[in-house]
Structure 1
């Protein structure tokens, strides 16, 4: 896949410590669009000592493949380093692979399973108890609900379209301000 040599098209908003989940989604999309995500997510194997049973052609292919992976990983690491604020950069500055930098970043800012579980529990409560305010337009309510649902999905919650429609219709039907032809 052809990519720009200067990496300018790989830019995303600078991460300053807030909204990690949304920032990471944007970064994943950029990495995927340039066929770098697998390196960031899975890493790559460092070349082992040469096996004398392999012929020279195989060794040459392995060396070339390793060089390509090292270059692509350096590009991915550069993108990660360039997309964090000066306050965040020291936390990843000593890592030499994109996977290591990404993993540390993810662990620190996304939180462990317990933290995500608590966040998800709060969002589920918000989803269940969010109601339309008096005089609130349906579009404003739908925007609030969409924000909650997107945050839930970011944390791994699976909500069916049927459940979302059911929630919205129940709330909308209970609101006398919504004309019946919109339901």
Structure 2
């Protein structure tokens, strides 16, 4: 087949019936790289061999035929199936190119309308909130290059001015400094792009640092209830000691009170199940929650929302939970206003 002679190094651009002027430029480059451009520009006659033709003449005749076949194969491969059905009866490369040029290349009036539409599209462009500087520049350059391909001049300075006057307010500081440093007409696209990308990257770095700092401040001890469809698990810290069941360890890393002694509960809810992640990354289960009575120095303290966790061997009081309930931290004590103290040991 003729298509088999097309170089496998790279494939030709495919013309779908739109943007002929773009395809024509790319196709010219492709054919020229394969030494076939002249074959599609003008047809030539292959000399007829005689019975006394030389080896050189035979080789030349074969090469000329092969170049014609390659050019035709390249053009066949460079069009969409619907267009191939139209040109399949044409057998000469230059005839195929001339037909496509006549059918699809815009006349001057149509080109003028296309240029007007592209310029209108260019003027209406504005940078979107989630769009990067590079994406916005690429969009403007693509429109400008399409105008140029239609034979109309479109300067880089016009693209620079478009950016200077339409970019969001967050880039105003960079633009103002560039205007003060040099004349607007002398600012190149590359200079403007580099300056704006630098600010954009700095802003992203600052935002990333803020997020990291916020995450560090959130702490590592969290507990949530099991949910049927989506489970959220948070870490808690858990220290093992040999204290008796009457002792409670104050833990600033826990977000919930926890005990392993069921007898301490005054009341509890058996229907609630929790997942708890401890400091080493493993998960343990809290089978209920309830209220526990703790003996203070002056009175009995009722601590609610205490989790029942069998897999720990130390009762834990959560400092954040106590502070939420109105306790205040004072040295080695948690203090309840007007109600005495509970010692922290």
TM-score by length of 2: 0.42
Q: CA deviation at 1:165?
A: 2.3
Contact 2:36 2:71 in 1 (8 A): yes
Deviations 1:21-44 (A, max 9, x none): 44333322211111212322x213
Match of 2:165 in 1: 170
Q: State yes or no: 1:144 paired with 2:139.
A: yes
| Contact kept in structure 1, 2:43 and 2:93, CA below 8 Å | no
- Which runs of structure 2 are paired with 1:100-179 in the superposition (5 Å)? 100-133=95-128, 136-172=131-167, 175-178=168-171
Per the alignment, residue 24 of structure 1 pairs with 24
Tell me which residue corresponds to 2:39.
39
Task: Give the distance between the partners of 1:65 and 1:154, measured in 2 at CA.
Answer: 38
Which of residues 64, 87, 92 in structure 2 aligns to 1:97? Answer: 92
CA distance in 2, matches of 1:91, 1:7: 24
Equivalent residues, number: 170
Would the alpha carbon gap of residues 100 and 120 (structure 1) be closer, same or farther in structure 2, given more than 3 Å must change? same
Gaps of 5+ in 1: 50-56
Q: If you compute each CA radius of gyration, which structure gives the higher value, 1 or 2?
A: 2
Q: Deviations over 1:118-171 (max 9, x none)?
A: 111111222234333456433332122122112112212222223332332233
Residues 15 and 23 of structure 2 are in contact (CA less than 8 Å); yes or no, is this contact kept in structure 1? yes
Distance 2:140 2:10 in 1: 31
2:8 aligns with 8
- Structure with higher strand content: 2
Residues 6, 23 of structure 1: alpha-carbon distance in 2 compared, 3 angstrom cutoff? closer
SS at match of 2:166: helix
Match of residue 180 from structure 1: 173
Contact in 2 for aligned 1:138/1:178 (Cα 8 Å): no
Question: What is the aligned partner in structure 2 of residue 52 from structure 1?
Answer: none
Contiguous gaps of at least 5 residues in structure 2: 175-194, 197-345
Distance 1:6 1:140 in 2: 35
TM-superposed CA distance for 1:87, in Å, is: 1.7
More off after superposition, 153-162 vs 115-124: 153-162
Provide the C-alpha distance between the structure 2 equivalents of 1:61 and 1:168, rounded to a whole number of angstroms. Answer: 62
Distance 2:103 2:56 in 1: 38
On the 8 A contact 2:6/2:73 being kept in 1, the answer is no
Inter-partner Cα distance in structure 1 for 2:64 and 2:123: 47
For normalisation by structure 1, the TM-score amounts to 0.72
- The structure in which a higher percent of residues are helix is 1
**Compared with structure 1, are the counterparts of its residues 44 and 61 closer, same or farther at alpha carbon in structure 2 (3 Å cutoff)?**
farther
